[in-house]
Amino acid sequence: MTSPTPLIAGNWKMNGTAASLSEAQAVAAALAGTSARVAICPPATLVERAAGAVKGTALLLGGQDCRAEVSGAFTGDVSAEMLADAGASLVILGHSERRAGYGETDALVAAKVEAALRAGLEPIICVGETLDERKAGKALEIVTGQVRGSLPATLAGKTFSVAYEPVWAIGTGLTPTTPEIEEVHIAIRATLVEVFGDHGKTPPILYGGSVKPSNADEILHAAEVGGALVGGASLKAEDFLGIIKAL
């Protein structure tokens, strides 16, 4: 079996102006010799400028969401084609802040994944349970259900990743225990193999939720953890590099 190539992606969320590009440049400059694939997903307004600022380096750029349609009367939205045109090669889809704040369903996330593939973008598809769902003993059921519902069959053989992000761990400083992370990642891998056969063995399964330099080593070396999706700690190059170096 081919081992998943690790991916560390930083989600800047709605943070960053031109002044923040120096952080992306500092990350890019430190990547030589790193075996991981590393990406920063800045706000859409910065993708093109970030692409220019890190041109010629190994740092990849991604969007944080996209609309499923190519173009049209969708005020304020951005299509996958627009992100690709701006210099993105990846896109985060189905983040819990979009599922909860914008009512995004698994079916809509799957349509966005199709859009990403159409535009040549590599999707990072987020799944994760709420605290109530975990307390009710439903974490595995919820997460594997989201994997089945949000990943279209056309992903078979394509490059993509799944990010397990327990909603209660995002931005809270709380993290699941290592056995809890492993239990979910192993269940996601089994679901990927069930759905995609051998193709399900290669996509990295990222962990996301309060990853920081101090806990990265343990999290990144847990079973079936193939990288991280990092929010707050990706905003400063020093913190983000501390996580990358833990791989």
Known catalytic residues? 95, 165
Sequence-distant (≥ 6) Cβ neighbours of residue 122 within 8 angstroms? 62, 89, 90, 91, 116, 158, 159, 160, 161
Applying CB under 6 A, the span of 105-113, 181-189, 217-225, 227-235 interacting with ligand PEP comes to 227-235
Measured CA to CA, the distance from residue 41 to residue 54 in angstroms comes to 13
Should residue 128 be labelled a site residue for ligand PEP when binding is judged by CB under 6 A? no
Measured CA to CA, the distance from residue 144 to residue 187 in angstroms comes to 7
Should residue 210 be labelled a site residue for ligand PEP when binding is judged by CB under 6 A? yes
**Strand 7-11, strand 37-41: pairing:** parallel
* Phi, psi at 229, each rounded to 5°: -110, 120
Pick from 94, 152, 203, 232 the residue near ligand PEP by CB under 6 A: 232
Should residue 94 be labelled a site residue for ligand PEP when binding is judged by CB under 6 A? no
Applying CB under 6 A, the span of 111-119, 133-141, 181-189, 225-233 interacting with ligand PEP comes to 225-233
Applying CB under 6 A, the span of 18-26, 58-66, 177-185, 231-239 interacting with ligand PEP comes to 231-239
Pick from 65, 122, 133, 165 the residue near ligand PEP by CB under 6 A: 165
Size of the site for ligand PEP (CB under 6 A): 13
Query: Which residue type is seen at 108?
Result: L
Measured CA to CA, the distance from residue 62 to residue 73 in angstroms comes to 24
